[in-house]
Each structure stands twice: as structure tokens, then as C-alpha cells.
């Protein structure tokens, strides 16, 4: 009996005190493997722990919640002695602000959210989505062969207007005569999960002349991507742009050849958050024309990665943090899928624009700061 007790005591001791750090992640609705926001956060979180695990003993905790159980997950992990809890999603901000006061020894990092007068153990990370959107907008304005481009937002909230406005400014900078058509899927959270409606919006935008459509709509964005991949082309280009030359020489998929006759031009989407370029590859052939023009990258993984490292190095600071272009918190995707579409000269232009935004020569309006 004594032996057993001793063993139990030893085990309890080892469980409580063996690790150097306990790191938690409290997922937003949508879950760990949502293919974008949560998964990106988890990737950065996991990468940091993997890298540090040689030198430190880190116990990772995770909780997959819904809006009504966020607080429960946060409390549970804080009670288990978490040194850091990463919680993606603006809807977790309220819960974090309340619970951070109860657990002063636990550091909290929220992505996308905001709370008034944060304590030293809560950090709210924002992303300069307007800057990233400006870049992809500039690309869309440079490339559009109709002079009309589209924007499909998810839920009609200020955060998404931030994407919208940055994108519009970028388009206008490249092409003052261009038109941007903006639509929002809805005003309730179901707007993030309604690809059918998003697809109708994209269809209507194309009917009004849009040839490049930027989707910032969560899972609804699948509807925009599907519309572009399914429709593939349109008639009636009115401008000659760098895209006219590059898309002309690129070989087309079999489906494209069957569907699109002479004089038609390809349609493109612009992805969001993670790199969605590969989804424009309709025939699994890198050499044929890709329908993903680019993606606006939001580096949630960088935020999570930095948070873990900061806590381990004792450099964690509460408050607000904005990851902008300068910090590589946002950007645009350029990979093997879309490189053939975008000529070197345009890439150079985009690099110059990026420099100007960083230096402040170009001021992109932040809708949420208005």
C-alpha cells in the first residue's frame, strides 16, 4: 500500500513539476483542422514547440470549443498551470479579458480580437489586412482585362470592410478607371459557411464584368473559387494588360479548351488567409493556366510562433500588437502556381509598392481605425 501511495505521489509530482512550460491553444469555432485560420495558428504553435522541445520540456494542451465553451477551455487550461494560451478568433476576446484577470500567471494571446485596457498578461494581435489587401488589389487592378474586379466578403463586419477598403485602394492605385464590385454574404455568422450564396455573388459580379474576384469569406470563399474553376472564362475583355500576354502563351487545361472558344479570357480568384493558389489548379497540372491569381496571406502562424518563443525566452509583453507588412504579418502569395501568370516586371512593381507602404509613402486606410 505504501509503495502504491509513493508511486502515486511520485507520479503526481512528476506530472505537476516535470515540464518547464505548459502551452495551451484554444481553437476558435471551426476546429483545429479548418484548413485556414485555426490550422495556421496551430501550425505556428506546433512548429515553435517542436523547435524548442530539444532544450525544454513543453507540455502542449489543446481545446476545441464553440462560442459558448471558449471560457471553459481557457479556464481549464489555466487551471492546469498553462504559461501561455493562444486563442485565435475575435469572438474569444471577451472571455480572455475576464479570465486573464483571474489567472495573472498565465499569458494569453488573442488573434484578431480586442479588449479595453489589457493587463500585462494579455496580448491582442491584429493584422494589417488592409496592407495585404492593397497589394493583391494593386495586382488585380494591374491585371484585370475588363477593368472590373470583384470582392466577396463573408460577414458584414468592420474587420472584413478592412480587407475591402484596402483592396479597393490598391485597385484604384493601379487602375484609376477600374470598378470594384463589393458584396457581402450576410450579416450573421452563417455568412462564413454559405458557399452557395457566395457563388451567386460571384456569378452576379462576373455578369457585371468582373474577371478577378477576391474572396475574404471563410468557408464561403469555396463558392467563389468553385465558380471561377467551373466557369473558367468569359467573353469581352476590353483592356490589354500584362495578363493578356501571359495567359495567352500558357497551355490550357482540357476542360478549358472544351469550354472556352476563341476570344474568351480566363477568370481568376484571389484567395485569403492561407495560400489558396493551388486550388486554382483544376487539372492537377502545374504547367497549365492556374485560376488562382494570388492569395492574401495573413500569417497567424507567425503570431503563434512568436508568442511561444517570447514566453519561453521570458520576453512576453501584454497589450496590443499589429503584425503588418514590415513584420511579414501579411503579404501576397507567389509560388509555382501563379508565377507563370505574373511577369517579372509586375513582381518588381509589387515589391516597390510594398516598400512604399512600409516606409509610409503610401498610406492605406485602415477601416477599423476610422
Q: Single out the residue of 33, 120, 258, 361 in contact with another protein (rule: CB under 8 A).
A: 33
Using CB under 8 A as the binding rule, whether residue 34 contacts another protein is answered as yes
Q: Which is nearer to another protein, 205 or 306 (CB)?
A: 205
Using CB under 8 A as the binding rule, whether residue 187 contacts another protein is answered as yes
Q: Single out the residue of 70, 108, 163, 184 in contact with another protein (rule: CB under 8 A).
A: 184
Query: What residues contact 85, with CB distance under 8 A and at least 6 apart?
Result: 23, 24, 25, 26, 74, 77, 78, 106, 107, 108, 109
Using CB under 8 A as the binding rule, whether residue 144 contacts another protein is answered as no
CB of 228 to another protein, least distance (A): 12
Q: Single out the residue of 83, 169, 194, 301 in contact with another protein (rule: CB under 8 A).
A: 194
All 3 cell numbers of residue 292?
Answer: 488562382
Using CB under 8 A as the binding rule, whether residue 112 contacts another protein is answered as no
Residues 199-228 that bind another protein (CB under 8 A): 199-201, 203-208, 219-220, 222-223, 226
CB of 256 to another protein, least distance (A): 15
CB of 206 to another protein, least distance (A): 8
Q: Single out the residue of 43, 193, 246, 264 in contact with another protein (rule: CB under 8 A).
A: 193
C-alpha radius of gyration, the chain, whole number? 23
Q: Single out the residue of 181, 250, 326, 327 in contact with another protein (rule: CB under 8 A).
A: 181
x/- map, 39-78, another protein, by CB under 8 A: ----------------------------------------
**Residues paired with 265 in a beta bridge:** 234
Amino acid at each position: 500500500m505504501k509503495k502504491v501511495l509513493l508511486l502515486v505521489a511520485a507520479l503526481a509530482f512528476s506530472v505537476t513539476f516535470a515540464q518547464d512550460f505548459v502551452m495551451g491553444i484554444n481553437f476558435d469555432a471551426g476546429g483545429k483542422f479548418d484548413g485556414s485560420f485555426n490550422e495556421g495558428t496551430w501550425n505556428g504553435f506546433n512548429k515553435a514547440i517542436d523547435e524548442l522541445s530539444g532544450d525544454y520540456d513543453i507540455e502542449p494542451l489543446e481545446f476545441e470549443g464553440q462560442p459558448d465553451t471558449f471560457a471553459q477551455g481557457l479556464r481549464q487550461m489555466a487551471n492546469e498551470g498553462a504559461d501561455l494560451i493562444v486563442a485565435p478568433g475575435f469572438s474569444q476576446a471577451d472571455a480572455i479579458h475576464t479570465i486573464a484577470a483571474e489567472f495573472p500567471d498565465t499569458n494569453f494571446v488573442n488573434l484578431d480580437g480586442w479588449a479595453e485596457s489589457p493587463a500585462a498578461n494579455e496580448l491582442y494581435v491584429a493584422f494589417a489586412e488592409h496592407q495585404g489587401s492593397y497589394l493583391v488589389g494593386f495586382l488585380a487592378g494591374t491585371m484585370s482585362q475588363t477593368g472590373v474586379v470583384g470582392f466577396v466578403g463573408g460577414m458584414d463586419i468592420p474587420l472584413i470592410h478592412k480587407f475591402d477598403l484596402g483592396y479597393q485602394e490598391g485597385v484604384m492605385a493601379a487602375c484609376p478607371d477600374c470598378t470594384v464590385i463589393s458584396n457581402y454574404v450576410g450579416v450573421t455568422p452563417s455568412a462564413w459557411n454559405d458557399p452557395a450564396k457566395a457563388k451567386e455573388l460571384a456569378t452576379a459580379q462576373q455578369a457585371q464584368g468582373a474577371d478577378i474576384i477576391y474572396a475574404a469569406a471563410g468557408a464561403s470563399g469555396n463558392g467563389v473559387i468553385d465558380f471561377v474553376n467551373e466557369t473558367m472564362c468569359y467573353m469581352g475583355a476590353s483592356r490589354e494588360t500584362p495578363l493578356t500576354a501571359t495567359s495567352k502563351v500558357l497551355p490550357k487545361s482540357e476542360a478549358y479548351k472544351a469550354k472556352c472558344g476563341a476570344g474568351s479570357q480566363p477568370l481568376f480568384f484571389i484567395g485569403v488567409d492561407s495560400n489558396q493558389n493551388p486550388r486554382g489548379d483544376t487539372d492537377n497540372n502545374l504547367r497549365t493556366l492556374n485560376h488562382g491569381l494570388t492569395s492574401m496571406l495573413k500569417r497567424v502562424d507567425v503570431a503563434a510562433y512568436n508568442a511561444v518563443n517570447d514566453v519561453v525566452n521570458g520576453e512576453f509583453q501584454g497589450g496590443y500588437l499589429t503584425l503588418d507588412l514590415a513584420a511579414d504579418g501579411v503579404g501576397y502569395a507567389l509560388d509555382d502556381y501563379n508565377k507563370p501568370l505574373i511577369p517579372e516586371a509586375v513582381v518588381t512593381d509589387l515589391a516597390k509598392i510594398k516598400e512604399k507602404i512600409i516606409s509610409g509613402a503610401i498610406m492605406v486606410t485602415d477601416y477599423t481605425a476610422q
